[in-house]
A and B are shown apart, each in its own frame.
Chain A
């Protein structure tokens, strides 16, 4: 029977991970497909999954009174969707919507937390990878906050 292990191994997020860890992670993984427009999760819902996007595009959105739906970020093939499963109280902070037909691997967060408690090496590997993703997103958010293209921009062209 074919498992998801080779697919996990090919995803950039898991690149270079030990085979024994990949085997453990495969036990928490399942294939998912979202049609265009599908809401993958909503703000405030319980967060017990994260997704490795294989193909497609997902928008992280938030609703603000008087402003409608604002897209905070889009995620594409090779990206990770969701880290709220890592941190109590395990609730999503944004909505996630497939804006294109999207194929992903869903990773069961409860399963992963349990496995990481049992195998701290695995937990450390996983956290290192998430720390990198979180750092990149934090830096990107800071750059967005700088609003470098506003009319205060001093470029003369």
Chain B
């Protein structure tokens, strides 16, 4: 089944920022839910245009609503941005490894998101908040380019007002009325309130941002075996057959996208992988 796209109807296209949007989908036929785990991705097919991998950004505990947030950067995502309620697209998936949401139970969880990397982490956050009493501290550190590029504004505001979740946002540059942090997301790590030895860190964003984040987390004392990163490669088949997303001995679509850092550290620090 994973090789054949299923038709899904667009329920809503929500513009998050000037160049990002969230597609809300529901199955055209069959089951009225779509089971997945936080961190997994789907292959979305705009008929007649092309198919691309996009992380699932909705709540795994509420699988009736399937959401994907993406940026309009290429032919397929631009066509996707023009979809309207009622349009039909093809969905294959879910694919890939999830965030270690269950393994993190009993520990502090520090989530470090960069740019649109917040999208797949939102699913993990939903799941943890649905079972809040199973975790110690939950800290979200989110960095993006400017205040205008902040995703999920309303949710972030709501989460910020919760007493059981620490949310810190920073932007790389700001002008005018921005009254929060300015600086790279790594600058939030040294004083974020979590117990480094008893923490699980989930990191997603551009690869350079993840490299610096991992260094800073380790400097803070988080062991590499407790850091998870979500890798990005050119995923095509989603099942580890075509080889487009090969990452050393791994296929990102099948063995990833979520990897425990100590298992890929030797590859992560190498060029041309």
Please give the residue numbers on chain A whose beta carbons come within 8 Å of chain B beta carbons, in ascending order.
57, 59, 67-74, 76-78, 99-100, 136, 139-140, 143-144, 146-151, 153-157
Contacts and interface: CB of A to CB of B under 8 A. Distances in A.
B60 interface: no
Contact of B69 (A70, A146, A149, A157): A157
- Which 4 residue pairs are nearest across A and B when measured between Cβ atoms? A149-B115, A149-B145, A157-B55, A148-B206
Contact of B182 (A59, A78, A136, A147): A59
B19 A151 contact: yes
B119 A140 contact: no
Contact of B232 (A99, A140, A156): A156
A141 B62 CA distance: 41
Contacts of A136: 187
B181 A74 contact: yes
A149 to B, nearest CB: 4
B156 interface: no
Contacts of B187: 136, 140
B54 A157 contact: yes
Given A143-B209, A157-B119, A151 B186 contact: no
Q: Is the interface of B mostly helix, strand, loop or mixed?
A: mixed
A147 B209 CA distance: 10
B182 A71 contact: yes
B184 A149 contact: no
A71 B178 contact: yes
A155 B182 contact: no
Interface in B151-186: 170, 172-176, 178-184, 186
Interface in B24-66: 41, 52-55, 57
A148 B191 contact: no
A128 B184 CA distance: 23
Contact of B174 (A57, A70, A146): A70
B19 A70 contact: no
B65 to A, nearest CB: 17
Scoring B41, B73, B114, B187 by chain A CB atoms within 10 A of each residue's CB, the highest score goes to: B187
B238 interface: no
Nearest to B145: A149
B273 interface: no
A147 B146 CA distance: 10
Contacts of A147: 145, 172
Scoring A67, A70, A71, A149 by chain B CB atoms within 10 A of each residue's CB, the highest score goes to: A149
A149 B73 CA distance: 12
Contact of A156 (B54, B143, B184, B191): B54
A77 B117 CA distance: 27
B74 to A, nearest CB: 9
A147 B114 CA distance: 11
A144 B206 CA distance: 13
Interface in B103-146: 114-117, 119-120, 143-145
22 contacts: A57-B181, A69-B175, A71-B174, A74-B183, A76-B191, A140-B186, A143-B208, A144-B173, A146-B208, A148-B205, A149-B115, A149-B206, A149-B209, A153-B73, A153-B115, A154-B232, A155-B115, A155-B205, A156-B54, A157-B57, A157-B117, A157-B120
A40 B119 CA distance: 38
A51 B163 CA distance: 31
Contact of B206 (A73, A99, A100, A155): A155
Contacts of B120: 157
